[in-house]
């Protein structure tokens, strides 16, 4: 990181800004503020922040709508702040193109980790990583090869597609719908049982302990994420 990343915090609660600002500054972020959806859209357009922290419950425009409009012209990473009981809203936000989410109330450390992952992922997107390494597994997306402790792992084409998708978005939550739509096609968006079967098989093949997975992580009720890769 050659310069101080700038983070835009969008929340209508002053209390949130009050504690997030010093915490972000302590982590070497430059902090921008917005309290409404309209203001957020304006600041993203004019100030071009490196990352956005967005509360879904905004007074004027719905947070999901903000994501939808931003995604029309910007791929700035967006981390959503959401309530635990609004699972559906969260998934929609991810489907609209949010990069990650943090449930309220949250520890600042967790938020910082998510922000780092999102920023890093954005870098990856710019300079494609040919090979990803995570917990002793090497995933070569271009050559369609997976090595575990140096040994070749045999994957079915679908298993590989699934793993490749997660790898390309390493560290980021991919919703069930997104995975199904990319790997199996849009007609299978709701067939989550495929996913459970294939994820189970993949874990058997690549995880050291499939019963407590360290590579393919479950985001309960939302989707899956590949653990942060070791660069």
Partner 1 sequence: MGLTDKPRASPEALLALANREGRGRLKIFLGAAPGVGKTYAMLQAARVAAQEGTDVAVGLAETHGRRETELLLEGLRILPRTSVPYRGRMVQEFDLDAALKCRPELILVDEYAHTNAAGSRHPKRWQDIEELLDAGINVWTTLNIQHLESLNDVVQRITRVRVRETVPDANFDKADEIVLVDLPPDELLKRLAEGKVYVQDTAARAVDNFFRPNNLVALRELALRRAAARIDSDLLERMQGGGVEGPWAAGERILVCVGPDETSSMVVRHAKRLADMIGAPFIAVTVEWPSSRFSEKQRHRVTEALQLAESLGADEVKTLVGTDLVDELLRYAKFENVTQIVVGRSRSSWLAELLGRSFPHQLIRAAEDIAIHVVTPVSTERRSVWQGLEWRSLSKKTSLAFLWSAVAVVLAIFVGRVIAAAVPLPNVSMVFLLAVFFSAVQFGIWPAVFASVLSFLGYNFFFIAPFYTLTVARPHELLALFIFLGVAVLSSAVAGRAREQGAAAASRARATRRLFEFARRLSSLAEPQTVADSTVAEVHRDLGLPAVILFPQGDDLVVTAAWPPEDQLGTATMTAARWAFERDEPAGAGTGTLPNVPWYFFPLRASHGRVGVIGIACGGKDGAELDAEERALFETLAELTATALERSQLAREIVVAKSATEAEKVRNTFLASISHDFRTPLASILGSATSLIEYRAKLPDAAKLDLLSQIKDEAEHLDGMVRNLLAMTRVEAGALELRRDWIDVRELLDRIVAFAKRRGAVQGFTVRTEDDLPFAPADQTLLDQAMTNVVGNAVRYGGPDAQIVVEARRVGDDLLISVADDGPGVAPDMLPHIFEKFMRGKDLGMADGGEGAGLGLAIAKGIVEAHGGTISADSHVIDGHGTRVTLRLPLGTGQTL
Residues that bind partner 1 (CB under 8 A): 12-16, 18-20, 22-23, 25-27, 57-60, 83, 85, 104-109, 112
Residue number with CB closer to partner 1 (21 or 181): 21
Least distance from partner 1 to the Cβ atom of residue 52, Å: 17
Beta strands in 60-144 (DSSP E): 78-83, 100-104, 131-134, 137-140
| Least Å from the CB of residue 112 to partner 1 | 8
- CB closer to partner 1, 14 vs 211: 14
- Closer to partner 1 at the Cβ: 116 or 205? 116
Identity of the residue, 14 or 204, whose beta carbon is nearer to partner 1 in the bound complex: 14
131: Cβ–Cβ under 8 A, 6 or more apart, which residues?
Answer: 138, 139, 140, 141
Residue with tokens 């304006």: 42
CB of 60 to partner 1, least distance (A): 7
Q: Which is nearer to partner 1, 15 or 187 (CB)?
A: 15
Q: How far is CA 206 from the centre of its chain?
A: 22
CB of 12 to partner 1, least distance (A): 4
Structure tokens at 171: 């560290």
* Tokens found for residue 193: 């049982």
71 and 45 Cβ atoms separated by less than 8 Å: no
Token pair in block for residue 182: 């990319």
- Please tell me whether residue 12 adopts helix, strand or coil conformation: coil
Q: Least separation, in Å, of the C-beta of 111 and partner 1?
A: 8
Query: Which residues fall within 8 angstroms of residue 85, CB to CB, at 6 or more apart?
Result: none
Structure tokens at 41: 């859209």
């Amino acid at each position: 990181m050659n310069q101080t990343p700038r983070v835009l915090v969008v929340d209508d609660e002053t209390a949130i800004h009050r504690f997030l600002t010093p915490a972000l500054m302590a982590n070497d972020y430059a902090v921008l503020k917005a309290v409404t959806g309209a203001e957020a859209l304006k600041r993203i357009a004019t100030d071009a922040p490196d990352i956005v922290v967005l509360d879904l419950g905004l007074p004027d425009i719905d947070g999901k709508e903000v994501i939808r409009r931003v995604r029309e012209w910007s791929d700035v990473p967006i981390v959503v702040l959401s309530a635990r009981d609004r699972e559906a809203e969260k998934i929609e936000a991810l489907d609209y193109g949010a990069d990650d989410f943090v449930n309220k109330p949250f520890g600042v450390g967790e938020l910082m980790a998510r922000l780092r992952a999102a920023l890093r992922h954005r870098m990856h997107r710019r300079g494609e990583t040919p090979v990803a390494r995570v917990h002793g597994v090497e995933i070569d997306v271009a050559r369609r090869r997976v090595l575990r402790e140096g040994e070749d792992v045999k994957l079915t084409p679908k298993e590989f597609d699934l793993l490749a998708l997660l790898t390309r978005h390493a560290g980021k939550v991919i919703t069930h719908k997104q995975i199904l739509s990319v790997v199996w096609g849009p007609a299978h968006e709701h067939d989550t049982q495929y996913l459970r079967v294939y994820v189970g098989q993949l874990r058997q093949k690549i995880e050291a302990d499939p019963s407590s997975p360290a590579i393919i992580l479950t985001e309960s009720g939302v989707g899956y994420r590949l653990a942060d890769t070791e660069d």
